[in-house]
């Protein structure tokens, strides 16, 4: 994400557009002089083209800069630098008052700070600017949902999905709203629609995870849940959560062998960007669940090694938890740590 922020700063901005426009106009003046001296019609045409390009660059420069600031605000928000992100959106709006993306991003930022009135105002303004813009509709839908207006939120999402049938966020948000309304089959229908219309593997993976959770926790349909988790694993076998959820489900069913295998596969998954700052802790957690099932010394050693890595590399509070666990394990035998409930931190 820091790399994305650096890229956003290096992208074409309004100042560069102004410089390009000025260069084009100066070049047009020089070509005009040459055309007057030579009488060449081609030089007059070139001068006219350069002049037009320069004027267009000057007109577009505020819009280019505003969009760059919105992208930078998103990158800053992902890094937790909320105040800086809000400042970027304010600057974008000052340049171009009708830039929808800035109001969408600022609405989410205000909501994260608990300033709901301001978040609602920005979401409403975004919809007024772009009535069919999916992200604007999503911003307002989330505000409606916060106030318990789930049906109104669903109507907003339906408008966005009518505009973009491959809008993954719209399908996922609709599914969450249907869960809140206890309409679980409709939630699953929304996730099935996502699978049909969206090609992005990460979004489809999240949809399978949510479908599995609905089957497991809400419908108590463990076979449906296992099927969803298995589909997620096939889709992205390098990611940890589906293995962990399927392992927990196998454990609850008493299938210890399958659960131990899935915990091992979860532990062996490479770090994912979503696990930044806690990847080693999650791997240690998986090994601890496997040890609780196998009681094998090899799993004990893997668990301890992962905790040591977590203590060195992970962010707080995960590194702190790892150090506490290592102190408890320092002089203990493996048998001192009996099996415990299989809970996955995700």
CB proximity list for 177: less than 8 A, separation 6 or greater: 141, 145, 150, 153, 154, 157
For residues 27 and 50, is the Cβ–Cβ distance under 8 A? yes
* Euclidean distance between CA atoms 202 and 72, whole angstroms: 23
Contact 345, 282 (CB under 8 A): yes
pTM above 0.75, yes or no: yes
Residue 185, burial from CB neighbour count under 10 angstroms (0-12, 13-18, 19+): exposed
pLDDT digits (tens, 9 = 90+) for 67-95: 888 888 999 988 889 999 999 999 989 98
Helix or strand run (H / E) with residue 253? helix 241-253
What pLDDT score was predicted for residue 28?
52
Provide the pLDDT for residue 341: 40
Contact between residue 248 and residue 266 where contact means Cβ atoms under 8 Å apart: no
Tokens read off for 54: 């320069």
The confidence score (pLDDT) of residue 336 equals 57
241 neighbors 346 (Cβ within 8 angstroms): yes
* Residue 190 and residue 175 in contact, taking contact as beta carbons nearer than 8 Å: yes
φ and ψ of 275, to 5 deg: -100, 15
Nearest Cα to 134, choosing from 176, 146, 142? 142
Instruction: Please tell me the distance from the alpha carbon of residue 89 to that of residue 118, in angstroms, as a whole number.
Output: 14
Contact of 57 with 21, CB cutoff 8 Å: yes
SS (H, E, C) 76-112: HHHCCCHHHHHHHHHHHHHHCCCCHHHHHHHHHHHHH
Give me the tens of pLDDT residue by residue for the chain, a chain 346 residues long: 444 434 444 444 545 554 554 554 455 555 555 656 666 666 546 555 544 544 544 444 666 777 888 888 999 988 889 999 999 999 989 988 888 999 999 999 999 999 999 999 999 999 999 999 999 999 999 999 999 999 999 999 999 999 999 999 999 999 999 999 999 999 999 999 999 999 999 999 999 999 999 999 999 999 999 999 999 999 999 999 999 999 999 999 899 999 999 999 999 999 999 999 999 999 999 999 999 999 999 999 999 999 999 999 999 999 999 999 999 888 766 655 554 444 343 3
Q: What is the CA radius of gyration of the chain?
A: 27
Summarised one tens digit per residue, pLDDT across range 10-63 is 444 545 554 554 554 455 555 555 656 666 666 546 555 544 544 544 444 666
pLDDT of residue 329: 87
ω into 215 cis (within 30 of 0)? no
CA neighbours within 13 Å on the CB side: how many for 225? Answer: 20
Cα separation, 241 vs 291, in Å, equals 18
* 201 Cβ neighbours under 8 A, 6+ residues apart: 235, 236
Query: Residue-wise over 6-25: b if at least 16 C-beta within 10 A, else e?
Result: eebeeeebbeebbebbeebb
CA-based torsion, 210, 212, 214, 218: positive or negative: negative
CA 264 to chain CA centroid, nearest Å: 27
């Amino acid at each position: 994400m820091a790399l994305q922020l650096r890229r956003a700063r290096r992208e074409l901005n309004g100042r560069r557009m102004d410089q390009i426009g000025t260069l084009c106009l100066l070049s047009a003046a020089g070509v005009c002089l040459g055309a007057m001296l030579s009488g060449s019609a081609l030089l007059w045409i070139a001068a006219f083209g350069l002049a037009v390009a320069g004027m267009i660059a000057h007109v577009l420069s505020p819009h280019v800069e505003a969009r760059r600031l919105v992208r930078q605000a998103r990158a800053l928000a992902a890094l937790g630098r909320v105040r800086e992100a809000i400042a970027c959106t304010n600057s974008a709006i000052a340049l171009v008052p009708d830039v929808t993306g800035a109001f969408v991003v600022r609405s989410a930022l205000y909501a994260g700070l608990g300033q709901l009135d301001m978040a609602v105002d920005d979401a409403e303004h975004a919809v007024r600017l772009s009535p069919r813009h999916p992200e604007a509709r999503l911003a307002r839908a989330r505000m409606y949902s916060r106030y318990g207006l789930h049906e109104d939120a669903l109507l907003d999402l339906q408008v966005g999905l009518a505009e973009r049938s491959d809008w993954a966020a719209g399908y996922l948000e609709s599914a969450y709203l249907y869960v809140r309304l206890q309409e679980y089959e409709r939630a699953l229908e929304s996730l099935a629609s996502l699978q049909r219309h969206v090609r992005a593997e990460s979004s489809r993976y999240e949809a399978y995870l949510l479908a599995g959770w609905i089957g497991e926790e809400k419908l108590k349909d463990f076979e449906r849940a296992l099927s969803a988790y298995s589909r997620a694993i096939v889709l992205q076998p390098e990611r940890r959560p589906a293995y962990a959820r399927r392992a927990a489900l196998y454990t609850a069913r008493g299938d210890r062998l399958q659960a131990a295998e899935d915990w091992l596969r979860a532990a062996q998954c490479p770090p994912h960007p979503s696990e930044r700052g806690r990847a080693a802790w999650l791997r240690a957690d998986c090994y601890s669940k496997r040890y609780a099932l196998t009681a094998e010394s090899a799993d004990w050693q893997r668990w301890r090694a992962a905790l040591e890595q977590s203590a060195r590399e992970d962010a707080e509070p995960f590194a702190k938890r790892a150090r506490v666990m290592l102190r408890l394990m320092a002089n203990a035998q493996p048998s001192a740590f009996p099996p415990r409930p299989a809970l996955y931190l995700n």
